[in-house]
Structure 1
Amino acid sequence: MIGAILDLVAAVLCLVGALLCLTAAVGLVRFPDLISRMHPAAKPQSLGLLVLLVGVVLHVRTWSAFFLLALVTILQMMTVTLASHVVARTGYRARLVDPRTLVADELAEAVAERARADPEGRGGPGATG
């Protein structure tokens, strides 16, 4: 009886996770600019994967699956944050972001300072600033 209930909960979680991932994919296609697209690329996709993995763990019910999927979850949460940050900074530097759409432009000063320090744009060590 408990196994059937866990399977039902697992199925619902997998369905909800898949719908969240679908929502993220639709957001990536529908949103107009880079900054808007960063949200569905990170948040609903990560939450959808997390919910989906919890559903898989409830269905499989083994410790090895739990530890493997926990590792996948931890790595996903760490890399999504970093990837979003890198995409935002790269898009800003490549002028793919319309400054009029920003509420606060905290990166403008750092980019201008870097341009003054390296007018030819050669980069080099520490060129991520």
Structure 2
Amino acid sequence: MVHVTSSAAHAPPTEDTEANRRGSGRRARSRDRLMDRASQPYAPNPELAKIRHVENLMMFIDDDLRETALSMERIERYLISTLEMLEADHLVRADVHALATDLDVLDQIDLLNENLESLRRRVARLAHVL
């Protein structure tokens, strides 16, 4: 297997990019930002701040976003485990069987579907009140 890396992706940050990152106050990874909204204060969107009685809906949307991201992360871990097993020097029948019969990943797919449906319904309600 050949790994190709971009020099830009691994280049040290310049002064400009460091200043912009710090100035923005935003974390780089979307997943981190999703999780931060549950535990850290954040400035509300100015357009949403003008709408009355939208706070609870936004809390539910935030929750749906986090739950969806967590399900996706768990599914991704299963995919990575499967890939690592396929790329291993030796295949162990028990490990292959464990991955093949892992029902937890199917539960996560069901949760992902439920969370996405809930998120879509709530975003539609938000669109209605805008």
Point out which structure has higher relative CO (alpha carbons under 8 A, 6+ apart): 2
TM-score if structure 2 supplies the norm length?
A: 0.39
TM-score if structure 1 supplies the norm length?
A: 0.39
